[in-house]
Every structure is written in structure tokens, then in C-alpha cells.
Amino acid sequence: MTTFMTTVDSPVGPLLLTSDGTALTRLLFAAEPDPSWSTDDCPVLARAEQQLAEYFRGERTDFDLPVDPAGTPFQVSVWLALRDIPYAATINYGQLATKVGNPRASRAVGLANGRNPISIVVPCHRVIGADGSLTGYGGGLDRKRTLLDLERGVAGTADSDPQLSLL
């Protein structure tokens, strides 16, 4: 199976996107592409690039892309639940664990969140600590803050608490 790839410049640095031709499979920060990946045109990647540009311009609050993240069934359930967090809102790890049906699994949810292979589109940046603090993010806390600030600005909640409101 062919893996298609492209890189996209963004306000949070270069993004590496991959697709299997039918769905977005990765969106990573400053990652190195595999030399075997194809740079041929891929409609899924073109659509993802367009939607990311709209997101960063503040014109898109929801992604309409097929995604296929590779992971364990538990990880995939966490990643799917992330897509239900509304734009500019936040949720903590315990709340996310409850959403996936395992309220005692906040640490496991945190680990799955940290392994999300499709950042931004699968909005793991919207998960914060139980005390409202910004906690670990694979792309770094500066990127997490930038993404949350962008969303708050677009949603008109930029004057709210810097930690954002929980769902």
C-alpha cells in the first residue's frame, strides 16, 4: 500500500501529513518523512491542506476529513472521543476517561492522548489537567497554547480564563 505525504507550513511550524489515499493517517509536528513515501498528488492530502489553512485563518472550526489513526482499540476510542470536544473548549483527562467508558483510566487516556498521530484534526490540544493547567503536549506547550489561543480568539472567548473553560 502506498503512503502519500506532504509538508505544510503553519503558524505552529512545519506539519507532516500522510495518507493511505483514502484517509488522513498522520499529522505530525516537524517530523522526518520516510523516504519510501510518495509525494504524488493525493486528494485527501490536498483537502487536509486546504482545511488546515482555513483553520489557521480562523475560517474553519471543524474538520471534515476521513481519518484512520493506527493504534490499539483503546487508543482509537480515545482519539475518536477527542473529535467530540467542541472547538475552543477544553476537557480534562478524567472527563475524557469517563467519555470513553473507563472513568478510572485517566492515566491511560493521557498516554493515548500523547500518542495521537493526527494532531490538530484530532484535537488532543483541547485536553488539560484536572486543575485547569496546560499539561503535556507532543508538540510542546507553546504549540498547545498557540492552538488554544487561536480557537479562543475565533470563538470570541479570548478574554476568558487563560486555562480555558472545561466542558
For the chain, which domains are there? 4-56 (3.30.160), 73-155 (1.10.10.10)
The mean pLDDT of the chain is 92
Q: Are strands 91-92 and 24-29 parallel, antiparallel or unpaired?
A: unpaired
* Residues present in the chain in total: 167
CA-to-CA dists, residue 159 to 65, 86, 128, 166, angstroms: 31, 18, 18, 15
Which pTM does this prediction carry?
A: 0.90
Instruction: State the pLDDT at residue 162.
Output: 44
Q: Specify the DSSP class assigned to residue 145.
A: H
Chain segment 34-83, per-residue pLDDT in tens: 999 999 999 999 999 999 999 999 999 999 999 999 999 999 999 999 99
Residue 14: is its pLDDT beyond 50? yes
CA-to-CA dists, residue 73 to 63, 92, 100, angstroms: 22, 21, 11
Known catalytic residue at 124: yes
Chain segment 23-34, per-residue pLDDT in tens: 999 999 978 999
Residues 6+ apart with CB under 8 A from 75: 69, 112, 115
Q: Could you give the CA distance from residue 6 to residue 16 in angstroms, rounded to a whole number?
A: 6
Instruction: State the pLDDT at residue 131.
Output: 87
Average pLDDT value for residue range 125-137:
88
Q: Are strands 127-128 and 91-92 parallel, antiparallel or unpaired?
A: parallel
Residue 85: is its pLDDT beyond 90? yes
Helix or strand (DSSP H, E) at 47 = helix 43-56
Which among 82, 96, 124, 127 is annotated as catalytic?
A: 124
Percentage, residues of the chain above pLDDT 70: 94
Residue 161: is its pLDDT beyond 80? no
